[in-house]
Structure 1
């Protein structure tokens, strides 16, 4: 790989410490949730976090990417830009938080959440406000290449969140039930209210978000409020397509869990309510988290990197190399998780009733892989300031998601939602590539990458089609299949061989 690509890979690895390790810690809560909550209760968590994803886009309205883009323009006063953008987010976050808290009871009724859950909406709204305020200080850390500090604060947030979950959902109820450490009961009794139940999941997130602002104290103390109306126009013109694109993206990423609860026919899964089906689907969706982690870590490092390379005449070749290794890495991950799902799943979905949704996992992994490819390809409209193309693509994907969920959920249940997600992301990636070829040509090795993707799908499909084997024999066979695929990739795409091919083409 080139030096620039290696630098991006290094920063991705640092950001990945917080994103991957932290999210893995969060993922380790899945056995806790599936063991302590019935699918219907877990469905409440899944549904509310899905709605929260939409609102998070509204609270930040594209200002993270806008800040990074404007900060890299020649002649920009970065300190002044930071003050203006953070002032906007502070004002808007305060207003939106107050509005949503006032409307919490009405909104929860409209969403079909059981009565008595209004406090969940208040806590989630406070989380949204705090996270929106933290967004620009985090973007500043990315801009200044302070990846270690960024990663440390993210990790602290997630460690605290996980710790509070364990405290309220394991330690307190077990001690008060007399299972162990009964001497602590008098201390814990005033701190724990069993009626809150799943609400402790949201309270733990709220405490972690507040702690994050404390850790960003240096960046916040360096802030000086500044608001100038004439400056809003350029910022808003760049940001609003990104916000619309983000909303459409959330439709593609999370709306399936909302629509599943509403469009699943009564009795489709015997003995299960639609909310329980959402819980099962949401739990299995978490097994696709490893692909999401890689994509998230890549996004943190890639946006500043792409913007910084925008003026380099060799940037198209660099972008092509980045996509190649990103796709190959994600393809290996897709095979490793999908082929070995029988070994992975029971360790995290501790109640057998959640395991019936496992067939959706390979489909969702592949869908997230194509989402990562789309993020790579989308560099062209961000660098050319034609972000409205991203809006068109995202809204087209959102319309496709809704239409396919409407058609497939009544027929295939949550597998229909998974297939809709895959078709949506494949379509978005293809359309983005075709448009990019016209407006910002990049020599992506598409034929080669397509062959690897097809090979990976064939390997996964073949492993799932194998006849039933003994438990340990099956694990060994699946491991050998995974290692064989990795070996094949290495033999064909050895870095030194790939580098020589690139040099020969350049000559």
Structure 2
């Protein structure tokens, strides 16, 4: 959500140029990869064993100590090799030092936040997350917009103002917000029984390592296109293309936010209800609702993309990349469906399948990007992203039917998907800007959804 809120600020030409925003997006692409490595699947393993083991305190303590020790060791080693890493991944050392500290702070709150979710404390979880966003957002606005004007020679603020320091200010804001979030969650560690169970840790690691592999593959699918744009395009074009692509990519966050919020709420439910009578029926219903709502969001954002873009992307210099919007929205929709389908391998302890599927997705991402970027630029990256997530979704469904059959209503799901995809692509690439046609399509889709869900809606209204 934070990256979405900050897009209007970062794409303001008075704050960052297109090239500078491309550089920030390039660095954040590595953030995703580093975060996955530091978490190494322990969050998912924590959920699984927290609901499986009788001694939940031991699970919490073992997972927490594991992440504390591994984070300190990995980042200490990275700091010692920072000059070599800086040269290898083409990130200036001044930014890389800040990145390392932020990564450590974020790693130390993984299990505290997971514990809040596992113990059904959504309000506290949400308040802390929102506070993190508010602090980060407030500091970004202050440092990028107001500090320069307030930093008079006789002002105390003059000591912290540096010209041409905007990218540093972005990461400093992130660092302070992450530090305060950890400070708020320190009572979790104060109450923690520091009891490390080696036998339990080995079992958790066997469960977690395939998740780590899947996470690395996911980070390749999600962000490596920016890194490949940097390496495969001419140096004078790369940052500009990354900036345009990253800005227009943010319009897909309407879908990402929906899918992420849905996953955060439903993942603990999948585990806690896995031993109830016939959980497969509930899992099937959950996916139907997700697809119905996701299809509506997909179609709505595509139709009104040109209305939304001036509020999110503040400079027309980025609009050349609007072509990617339907592809990236649909890609994130497929990813959301994949996360819902992945319930089968998580609750049956077949997490290796998740790793295999994600690796295949990463190979598709890498292969298509290498093939398409030199001739198509960011358009090739959008096509590669959609291809990878669509393939992952289909593979998860295929293997799930074999190992943990769930009675999905394929006709209804296929109808929602088919109609929303057809309407979205026909409108955007043939009737873009004709809102009479777009709104008609939206009404037709809503009518279809109402006719299919009429019985369920009546039941909900009766309960209320």
| Superposition map of 1:9-24 within 5 A | 23=1
1:285 and 2:215 matched = no
Partner of 1:447: 411
The equivalent position to 1:151 in structure 2, one of 126, 134, 146, is: 126
Per-residue CA deviations over 1:54-98 (Å, capped at 9, x if unaligned) read 11011111111101100111x521112111111111111111121
1:28 and 2:8 matched = no
1:262 and 2:235 matched = no
Q: Is the 8 A contact 2:57 2:193 kept in 1?
A: no
User: Aligned equivalents of 1:315 and 1:108: distance in 2?
Assistant: 49
User: Aligned equivalents of 1:483 and 1:153: distance in 2?
Assistant: 38
Runs of 4+ that moved beyond 6 A = 497-500
1:95 and 2:73 matched = yes
Partner of 1:4: none
The equivalent position to 1:300 in structure 2, one of 264, 281, 291, is: 264
The equivalent position to 2:105 in structure 1, one of 96, 107, 130, is: 130
- In the superposition, the TM-score normalised over structure 2's length comes to 0.94
Pair 1:200–1:475, CA change in 2 (3 A): farther
Partner of 1:6: none
The equivalent position to 1:315 in structure 2, one of 271, 279, 300, is: 279
Per-residue CA deviations over 1:397-432 (Å, capped at 9, x if unaligned) read 111111111111122211111111111111111111
The equivalent position to 1:226 in structure 2, one of 174, 195, 204, is: 195
1:462 and 2:440 matched = no
Q: Is the 8 A contact 2:36 2:216 kept in 1?
A: yes
User: Aligned equivalents of 1:320 and 1:260: distance in 2?
Assistant: 39
1:120 and 2:95 matched = yes
Partner of 2:206: 237
What is the SS of the residue equivalent to 2:140? helix
Pair 1:312–1:118, CA change in 2 (3 A): same
User: Aligned equivalents of 1:421 and 1:190: distance in 2?
Assistant: 44
- In the superposition, the TM-score normalised over structure 1's length comes to 0.86
Partner of 1:191: 160
- Structure 1 residue 262: Cα displacement: 1.2
Partner of 1:14: none
User: Aligned equivalents of 2:44 and 2:175: distance in 1?
Assistant: 25
User: Aligned equivalents of 1:468 and 1:329: distance in 2?
Assistant: 22
Q: Structure 2: give runs of 5+ residues left out of the alignment.
A: none
Partner of 2:450: 490
Q: Is the 8 A contact 1:101 1:121 kept in 2?
A: no
Partner of 1:403: 367
Partner of 2:344: 380
Q: Is the 8 A contact 2:299 2:423 kept in 1?
A: yes
Partner of 2:215: 246
- Structure 1 residue 390: Cα displacement: 0.7
Pair 1:314–1:277, CA change in 2 (3 A): same
- Structure 1 residue 485: Cα displacement: 2.5
**What is the alpha-carbon root mean square deviation over aligned residues?**
1.9
- Structure 1 residue 187: Cα displacement: 3.3
- Structure 1 residue 480: Cα displacement: 4.7
User: Aligned equivalents of 1:467 and 1:259: distance in 2?
Assistant: 32
- Structure 1 residue 340: Cα displacement: 0.7
- Structure 1 residue 499: Cα displacement: 6.4
User: Aligned equivalents of 2:37 and 2:432: distance in 1?
Assistant: 48
What is the SS of the residue equivalent to 1:461? helix
User: Aligned equivalents of 1:239 and 1:409: distance in 2?
Assistant: 34
Per-residue CA deviations over 1:220-263 (Å, capped at 9, x if unaligned) read 21123233433331111111011111111111111111111112
The equivalent position to 1:76 in structure 2, one of 54, 62, 71, is: 54
The equivalent position to 1:438 in structure 2, one of 387, 402, 408, is: 402
The equivalent position to 1:416 in structure 2, one of 373, 376, 380, is: 380
User: Aligned equivalents of 2:458 and 2:331: distance in 1?
Assistant: 27
1:57 and 2:36 matched = yes
Partner of 2:335: 371
